[in-house]
Amino acid sequence: MRLKLLIAPDSFKGSLSAIDAAICLEKGIKATCPNVDATLLPLADGGEGTVDAMIRAVGGTYVTIKVDDPLGRPIEASYGKLRDGRTAVIEMATASGLPLLSREERDPVKTTSYGTGQLIRSALDEGCRRLIIGIGGSATNDGGMGMAQALGIRFLDSNGRTLGMGGGELCRLDRLDISNLDNRLSETEILVASDVRNPLCGLQGASYVYSYQKGATPEMAAYLDGCLANLASVIKRQLGQDIAEMPGSGAAGGLGAGLKAFLNAELRSGIELIMDVLDFRAKAETVDLILTGEGRIDAQSAFGKVLSGVVSMAEQLSLPVVAVGGSVASDFSPWSDLLVAVSCVTECMDLETALENAEQAVVVAAERIGRLLAIGGMIRNTA
């Protein structure tokens, strides 16, 4: 009797894409447990690798265009157009992400999400009327202002002058002019994939929690929080939407709020949305075991990450899950009786060495799992 596996990892950040991780896991498993039929379904939670995972799973093409990076410089960025011809998958980080800036260039007062709006506009030009937007990894704290500017909304001060770019401008915002907002958006479904539940404003909001990694000082964080509060006030007054405390509105420097307020987007758990689109449940219903993984498995893995989504579905189907981690933290405790975590690291080494050897480490970890599965099969056959 052959064992049926669903191999569905996240990327191993800094070392392996989700697709490469899945290939390594399959290679290791089959090396020691050849009596296996494996289906590969690389996953993502709305961050890095979302476009690749979607195109690999359902088919499609990449569209590459010129956009403005977070500081307004021209770069090339890509998104995916799925096989159905009407769905685009966008990672905002390809146009407005932190990796596009050097550490010295990080400044959330100045950075803009304008490039993300350019990606959205291009997808509309391509005829797409269903957009899936992953908003992890942003370099911005502009409440989605740049994105909205690229789509036709004008942000005006009390004298009717148009604001410039960057979250620091929002403290001067007095009113919105939405008369030139791209009218194709009214016939477009927009789904936002994010695992962040923070509100827009306050001590748990976008500025105080996330702007420091984007280059903010404590004084800048306080200023930016006031800017976003002013944006929320104007939106409430003009558009009748109260977004300041809305869960998820603080994602990507407030881009979650901007997408909701300006484009009527639906904010979803990233992993749940991606699993729905990939029809994960139907694929899982046909297997005996799910093999997943991510770069680091720790206490946070239970909250909104790929592993949490996989385990949640596995529990509904009473399927065991084996998760391979680049490392497994000492504070990790499986929250499900169906979950087992296996670390790639079996000896002391520094992070750089671990990243350099990630591919082989994942293969070897999968080989160990394969041997255990093979032994399990022997026990079952003799029982």
Same domain, 267 and 283: no
Residue 185 has pLDDT above 90, yes or no: yes
Same domain, 295 and 216: no
Same domain, 197 and 305: no
Same domain, 174 and 300: no
Same domain, 235 and 299: no
Same domain, 332 and 191: no
Residue 35 has pLDDT above 60, yes or no: yes
Q: Which of 219, 254, 271 delimits the end of a domain?
A: 271
pLDDT at position 382: 52
pLDDT at position 305: 83
Share of the chain above pLDDT 70, in %: 96
Q: Which of 224, 245, 271 delimits the end of a domain?
A: 271
CB 166 within 8 A of CB 96: no
Q: How far is CA 374 from CA 218, 370, 380, 382, in A?
A: 55, 6, 10, 13
User: In residues, how long is the chain?
Assistant: 383
pTM: 0.88
For the chain, what is the mean pLDDT?
93
Same domain, 127 and 250: yes
pLDDT at position 322: 96
Q: Which range scores top for mean pLDDT: 73-87, 302-316, 337-351?
A: 73-87
Residue 272 has pLDDT above 70, yes or no: yes
Mean pLDDT of 166-188: 97
Enclosing H/E stretch for 381: helix 358-382
pLDDT bucket at 381, cuts 50 / 70 / 90: low
pLDDT at position 259: 98
pLDDT at position 217: 97
Using one digit for the tens of pLDDT, what is the confidence trace for 75-87? 999 999 999 999 9
Residue 378 has pLDDT above 70, yes or no: no
CB 43 within 8 A of CB 53: yes
CATH of the domain at 168: 3.90.1510.10
CB 50 within 8 A of CB 274: yes
CATH of the domain at 328: 3.40.50.10350
pLDDT bucket at 174, cuts 50 / 70 / 90: very high
Using one digit for the tens of pLDDT, what is the confidence trace for 119-158? 999 999 999 999 999 998 899 999 999 999 999 999 999 9
pLDDT at position 349: 62
Residue 259: count of CB within 10 angstroms of its CB? 31
Quick one: 39 exposed, middle or buried, by C-beta within 10 A (0-12, 13-18, 19+)?
middle
How many domains in the chain?
A: 2
- Give the structural domain span for 121: 50-271
pLDDT at position 351: 67
3-state secondary structure of 190: strand
Same domain, 108 and 255: yes
Who has greater pLDDT, 328 or 6? 6
Same domain, 210 and 134: yes
Q: Which of 251, 271, 291 delimits the end of a domain?
A: 271
Report the alpha-carbon distance of residue 51 to residue 360 in Å, rounded: 25
Same domain, 28 and 68: no
Residue 209 has pLDDT above 80, yes or no: yes
Same domain, 215 and 168: yes
pLDDT at position 383: 47
Same domain, 151 and 264: yes
